[in-house]
Amino acid sequence: MYISARERSILTLIVKQNDGIPLSDIAKSLEVSTRTIQRDLKGIEDILAEFNLSLKKSINGFGVVGNLDDRVNLMSFLGTLDHEEYTPEERQVVLLSHLLHVREPVKLYALANELNVTVATVSNDLIKVEKWLNQFQLTLIKKRGYGVEVVGDEVIIRRALSKLISENLNEDYFYQILSGVEEEQTAISRVVLKRLMHYVDLATVKKVKDTIDKWRITLVEEMVDSSYVGLIVHVTLAIERLKQGERIELRGEYLDSLQTYKEFALAKSLADELEKVMDIQIPDEEVGYISMHLRAVKWMNQKEEVLEGSDLQLAVTVKKFIDEVGKELNLSLADDALYQGLVAHLKPAMYRMSQRMKIHNPLLEKIKDDYAELFHAVKTVAKRIFHSLDIPDEEIGFLVMHFGSVLEIRRKKAELKALVICSSGIGSSKLLASRLNKEFPEITMLKNASLFELGQFQLNEYDLVISTVPLQGVDHYFHVKPFLSKDEVQTIRNYLDNVLTEKAVVWKENALQPKKGTAPPYSQHFFKVVGDINEDIQFILQQFEVKDLKPDILENNLAYLCKSYQEKKMIDSYQEVLSALLEREKLGGLAIPGTTLALFHTRHRQIKQPFFSVYDLQEPLLRRGMDNQSILVKRILILLAPEEFAEHRLALMSYISALIIESESTIQLFEQEEEIEIKQFLANQFKTYLQDIFEKEWTT
pLDDT tens digits, one per residue of 454-505:
778 888 888 888 888 888 778 788 888 877 888 888 888 778 766 554 543 3
Pick from 424, 426, 431: nearest CA to 480: 431
CATH no. for residue 371?
1.10.1790.10
pLDDT band (50, 70, 90) for residue 1: low
Q: Are residues 270 and 384 in the same domain?
A: no
Lowest-pLDDT range of 503-507, 568-572, 661-665:
503-507
The mean pLDDT of 19-36, rounded to a whole number, is 78
Q: Which residues contact 226 (CB under 8 A, 6 or more apart)?
A: 171, 298
Give the pLDDT confidence of 319-356 residue by residue, as tens digits. 788 888 988 887 777 776 677 678 777 777 776 677 66
Element (H, E) at 141: strand 139-143
pLDDT at position 512 over 50: no
Q: Is the pLDDT of residue 390 over 50?
A: yes
**321-323-326 Cα angle (round to 5):** 110
Most confident of 404-413, 564-573, 684-693: 564-573
> How far is the C-alpha of 207 from the C-alpha of 337, rounded, in Å?
39
Is the separation of the CB atoms in 248 and 285 below 8 Å? Answer: yes
Report which DSSP code applies to 459. Answer: G
Identity of the highest mean pLDDT range in 213-222, 279-288, 339-348: 279-288
Any domain includes 518: no
Higher pLDDT, 172 or 632: 632
Identify whether residues 538 and 492 lie together within a single domain: no
Confirm whether 328 is domain-assigned. Answer: yes
Highest mean pLDDT among 137-146, 180-189, 632-641: 632-641
| % of the chain with per-residue pLDDT over 70 | 77
User: Which residues have a Cβ under 8 Å from the Cβ of 410 and sit 6 or more positions away?
Assistant: 501
Residue positions counted in the chain = 700
Based on the domain organization, do 141 and 120 belong to the same domain? yes
Amino acid symbol at 683: A
Euclidean distance between CA atoms 433 and 555, whole angstroms: 28
Of the pLDDT bands very low, low, confident and very high (cuts 50, 70, 90), residue 545 is very high
Residue 548 C-alpha from the chain's centroid: 34
Are 350 and 389 within 8 A, CB to CB?
yes
Indicate the range of 54-63, 236-245, 258-267, 515-524 predicted with least confidence. Answer: 515-524
Claim to verify: residue 155 and residue 117 sit in the same structural domain: yes
Q: Is the pLDDT of residue 543 over 90?
A: yes
Give the residue, 117 or 224, on which the prediction is more confident.
117
- CATH for 571: 3.40.930.10
Q: Give the mean pLDDT of the chain.
A: 78
Please give the pLDDT value at position 5. 63
Mean pLDDT of 586-608: 87
Give DSSP secondary structure letters for 414-458. Answer: --EEEEEEESSSSSHHHHHHHHHHHH-TTEEEEEEEEGGGGGGS-
User: Who contacts 310 (Cβ-Cβ below 8 Å, separation ≥6)?
Assistant: none
pLDDT tier for residue 309 given thresholds of 50, 70 and 90? very low
Tell me the residue ranges of DSSP E strands in 384-433. 416-422
pLDDT of residue 304: 42
First vs last Cα of the chain: how many Å apart?
61
pLDDT for position 523: 59
Strands 139-143, 147-151: pairing is antiparallel
Question: Which of 477, 509, 541 is a domain's end point?
Answer: 509
Residue 302 lies in a domain: no
18 with 143, same domain: the answer is no
Query: What is the C-alpha to C-alpha distance for residues 178 and 197, in angstroms, rounded to an integer?
Result: 12
Domain annotation covers residue 540? yes
Kind of pairing, strands 611-624 and 630-642?
antiparallel
Spatial distance between the Cα atoms of 172 and 174, rounded to a whole number of angstroms: 5
How do residues 546-565 score in pLDDT, each as one tens digit? 999 988 899 999 999 999 99
Residue 661's contacts (CB-CB under 8 Å, 6 or more residues apart) are 431, 434, 435, 592, 595, 667
Task: Give me the pLDDT at residue 373, please.
Answer: 87
Q: Do residues 544 and 615 share a domain?
A: yes
pLDDT at 409: 64
Please check whether residue 273 lies inside any domain of the structure: yes
pLDDT for 509 equals: 35
CB 478 within 8 A of CB 492: yes
pLDDT band at 513 (very low <50, low <70, confident <90, very high): very low
On the question of pLDDT at 694 being above 70, the answer is yes
- pLDDT at position 566: 94
**3-state class of 477 per DSSP?**
coil
Residue 626: pLDDT above 80?
A: no
Q: How confident is the model at residue 514 (pLDDT cuts 50, 70, 90)?
A: very low
Say what the pLDDT of residue 316 is.
Answer: 64
Number of domains observed in the structure of the chain:
5
Q: Which of 475, 509, 543 represents a domain boundary (last residue)?
A: 509
- pLDDT classification of 516: cutoffs 50, 70, 90: very low
Q: Kindly give, in sequence order, each residue whose CB lies less than 8 Å from that of residue 545, ignoring residues fewer than 6 positions away.
A: 613, 614, 675
**pLDDT at 511 (0 to 100):** 31
Mean pLDDT of 652-671: 83
> Coil, helix or strand for 136?
coil
Q: Within a domain: residue 515?
A: no
pLDDT of residue 153: 79
Residues 228 and 262 in one domain: yes
The 10 Å CB-count burial string (b at 16+, else e) for 261-296 is: bebbebbbebbeebeeebeeebebbbbbbbbbbbbb
Q: Is the pLDDT of residue 286 over 90?
A: no
34-50 and 23-30 are packed helices; what angle lies between their axes, rounded to 10 degrees? 100
Checking if the pLDDT of 530 tops 90, the result is no
- Strands of the 611-624 sheet, one edge to the other: 546-548, 611-624, 630-642, 597-604
In whole angstroms, give the CA distance from residue 395 to residue 360: 9
The reply to whether 528 and 640 lie within a common domain is yes
pLDDT of residue 81: 62
Q: How confident is the model at residue 578 (pLDDT cuts 50, 70, 90)?
A: very high
CA angle 688, 677, 8 (to 5 degrees): 120
The amino acid present at 169, given as its one-letter code, is: L
Here the CATH number for the domain that contains residue 480 is 3.40.50.2300
CA distance 496 to 70: 50
Would the pLDDT of 293 be above 70? yes
What span, in angstroms and rounded, lies between the C-alpha atoms of 323 and 343? 14
Give the pLDDT mean for 138-148: 85
- What mean pLDDT is predicted for residues 304-318? 51
User: Which residue type is seen at 662?
Assistant: E
* Cα distances (angstroms) measured from residue 613 to each of 133, 490, 541, 610: 55, 34, 9, 11
User: Mapped to the 3 state alphabet, what secondary structure does 342-374 carry?
Assistant: HHHHHHHHHHHHHCCCCCCCCCHHHHHHHCHHH
Rounded-to-10 torsion of CA 400, 405, 411, 413: -160
Q: Provide the CB-side half-sphere exposure for 625 (13 A, CA).
A: 17
458 and 551 housed in the same domain: no
Is the same domain home to 397 and 451?
Answer: no
Q: Where does a domain end: 446, 478, 509? A: 509
With a CB cutoff of 8 Å and minimum separation 6, the contacts of 298 are 223, 224, 226, 227, 345, 348
* Residue 300 is assigned to a structural domain of this protein: no
Other Cβ atoms less than 10 A from the Cβ of 402: the count is 20
Question: Residue 304's CB: how many other CB atoms inside 10 A?
Answer: 16
Dmax over Cα atoms in the chain, in whole Å? 93
Considering only residues 162 and 420, tell me which one the structure prediction assigns the higher pLDDT. Answer: 420
**Domain co-membership, 267 together with 183:** yes
Give residue 316's domain range. 309-403
46 domain-assigned: yes
Whether residues 180 and 221 share a domain: the answer is yes
